[in-house]
Amino acid sequence: MSHFACKEFSALEKDLKDDLLECYVEAQQEIEEIINSIEGEGFSFDKLDELFRSLHSMKGNCSVCFLDPLVGVLHKLEEIVDGMRGGYIQYHHHLGDLINVVIENVYSLLQQIYQSHVAESELRDILQQGLDGIYAEEDDAERPKLAAVLLKQCSHQVTEEEEDCRDASSLIIKVEFTEQQQADIDLFAGFSHKLNRLLGYSTERSERILKLCQLINAELRAPVDPCQLSAAAYMHNMGMALILNCKDDEEAKQDATMNHPMVGAKLLSKHEGWEEAVDMVKAHKERFDGSGYPEGLVGPLIPQGAFILSMAVMFIDSVWGKSGSEYNKSAMRAVQSVNFESGKGFPQHLIESFNAAIRKALVAKRK
């Protein structure tokens, strides 16, 4: 597999590169919101103008930072949107989907360059050649078809590693509990479901968090005890029950939020045999760089299971929010948010396990 590099970008100061990634994500969110608005509320030239400006800003930032191979892709995408503004390219939902997917893939390449100083040439070439073909097509009615082809090319391909994930049932991680553990887990699940309802979350929130925790854990070379992880997944938020008594007292709500990991851990510690889970619950709001709470722990002082739990909660709450009613279009945004915390909120090797778990979930969902 061939790769390309952007040596001038790699030589930039880390703060500048971090700013670029942050600005890219902000522009990407703006673009996704515009596309969603067009799809949901209808087409308008004002929305196309906003879309063009966001794309132009994104491309300009990449150009300033010497990311020329990615600038070419974004420039062609910008030209297609400009064609829509000019009326000679008609907006189509395939083109809208393609805009989002291309930007997602460019971000993936950008992260590769940021982390490893090189990125995959094949993906970049697929994007560039596909967009060149769409823009050059003289029959506008053919453009949506070409966009659909490019969308298919951009989709994740099933690798040998993913062959075991063709059936969604392969994503079910079987955890063997003792009789006493099972009784406790059933109790914890009941507590969690009740609290989710009181806090306005879907009752499915706990199960989604639990499944993702176990998927991430299964990707690790040295996984944590899945029984302990299950207890932590159900009990991590129990301390938030205190917030229900705060009513409109914002200071009390803030205190309850900051203390809820300790409170949840204390509640769990009343049940024997869950010491590892207690530590996970207590530390699930800690951050790898030491900026978390309640104790400001750093790096290896934080249990691996706490990081797994935190990543799962971050993803599930970003995608489903409190309504939990449907799998919305923010899934990629949630993945990017978790990845953006590499080296800050979470250690990099766990980010890689998270990505592998999400990729398998997406493959199974597609099947």
Between these two residues, 97 and 366, which has the higher pLDDT value? 97
Give ∠ CA 100-101-107 in degrees, rounded to 5: 90
Q: Which two tokens stand for residue 253?
A: 């709500």
Q: Positive or negative, the Cα torsion across 352, 354, 359, 360?
A: positive
pLDDT digits (tens, 9 = 90+) for 264-322: 999 999 999 999 999 999 999 999 999 999 999 999 999 999 999 999 999 998 887 76
Provide CB contacts within 8 A for 346, sequence distance 6+. Answer: 287, 288, 307, 310, 311, 338, 354
Model-wide pTM > 0.75 = no
Domain covering 163-366: architecture: Orthogonal Bundle (1.10)
pLDDT at 163 over 80: no
Cα–Cα distance list, 216 to 139, 185, 211, 305, 329 (Å): 46, 20, 9, 10, 22
Q: How far apart are CA 330 and CA 311, in angstroms?
A: 16
Q: What is the pLDDT of residue 161?
A: 32
Q: Which two tokens stand for residue 258?
A: 């900051």
Domain covering 3-155: architecture: Up-down Bundle (1.20)
Cα–Cα distance list, 269 to 157, 264, 302 (Å): 45, 9, 18
Q: What is the pLDDT of residue 168?
A: 37
What residues are paired with 4 via a beta bridge? Answer: 119
The ranges assigned to domains in the chain are: 3-155, 163-366
**Could you identify the residue written with the tokens 């982390």?**
115
DSSP 266-331: HHHHTSTT-HHHHHHHHHTT--TTS--SSS---GGGS-HHHHHHHHHHHHHHHHHTTT--S--TTH
Provide CB contacts within 8 A for 115, sequence distance 6+. Answer: 342, 348
